[in-house]
A = this chain, B = another copy of it.
Amino acid sequence: MLEYVAMVREEAGDRIARRKARDREARRERIVGAARRIAEHEGWASVTVRRLSDEIAYSQPVLYSHFESREGILAAVALEGFRELGPALEKARSSGSRGKAIERVAGAYLKFAESSPALYEVMFTLGLTVPFGDAATPVELRSAFSKLVQLFEGRKAKPEIVAELFWASLHGIAELTRTRRFPPAWQKERLRVLVALFTRLQ
Interface residues of A (CB under 8 A from B): 124-125, 127-128, 130-133, 157-158, 161-162, 164-165, 167-173, 175-176, 179-183, 186, 189-190, 193-194, 196-198, 200-201
Kindly state the separation between the CA atoms of A176 and B124 in the bound complex, as whole angstroms: 8
| Beta-carbon nearest neighbor of A182 in chain B | B164
Contacts of A169 in B (CB 8 A): 165, 168-169, 172
Contacts of A183 in B (CB 8 A): 131-133
The reply to whether B173 and A194 contact each other, CB–CB distance below 8 Å, is no
Kindly state the separation between the CA atoms of A175 and B193 in the bound complex, as whole angstroms: 22
Kindly state the separation between the CA atoms of A84 and B170 in the bound complex, as whole angstroms: 26
Kindly state the separation between the CA atoms of A5 and B10 in the bound complex, as whole angstroms: 103
Contacts of A200 in B (CB 8 A): 200
A70 to chain B, nearest CB (A): 13
Kindly state the separation between the CA atoms of A155 and B171 in the bound complex, as whole angstroms: 25
Kindly state the separation between the CA atoms of A183 and B157 in the bound complex, as whole angstroms: 18
| Beta-carbon nearest neighbor of A162 in chain B | B193
Task: Give 8 closest A-B pairs by Cβ, nearest first.
Answer: A168-B172, A172-B172, A171-B172, A168-B173, A169-B169, A132-B181, A131-B180, A128-B180
Kindly state the separation between the CA atoms of A175 and B126 in the bound complex, as whole angstroms: 12
The reply to whether B182 and A194 contact each other, CB–CB distance below 8 Å, is no
Contacts of A190 in B (CB 8 A): 161, 164-165, 168
The reply to whether B161 and A193 contact each other, CB–CB distance below 8 Å, is yes
